[in-house]
């Protein structure tokens, strides 16, 4: 099974769902990456 591992340095677990961190570059990048993956899978 193909996998992708990404490390967002300087972040803590759950950084994408903590309101105080949601507008950080790392949270935006992780959310975008997840969205791009889902789009690609669902539209292929």
pLDDT at 13: 94
Q: Is 29 helix (H, G, I), strand (E, B) or coil?
A: helix
pLDDT at 9: 93
CA distance 23 to 19: 8
Find out whether 4 and 10 touch, Cβ atoms under 8 Å. Answer: no
What are φ and ψ of residue 8, in 5° steps? -100, 95
- Chain-centroid distance of CA 25 in Å reads 10
pLDDT at 1: 82
Residue 2 has pLDDT above 90, yes or no: no
Q: Summarize pLDDT for 10-38 with one digit per residue, the tens.
A: 999 999 999 999 999 999 999 999 999 99
Question: Could you tell me the two tokens for 17?
Answer: 């769902």
């Amino acid at each position: 099974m193909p996998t992708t591992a990404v490390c967002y340095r300087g972040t803590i677990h759950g950084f994408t769902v903590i309101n105080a961190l949601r507008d950080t570059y790392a949270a935006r990048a992780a959310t975008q990456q997840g969205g791009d993956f889902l789009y690609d899978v669902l539209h292929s």
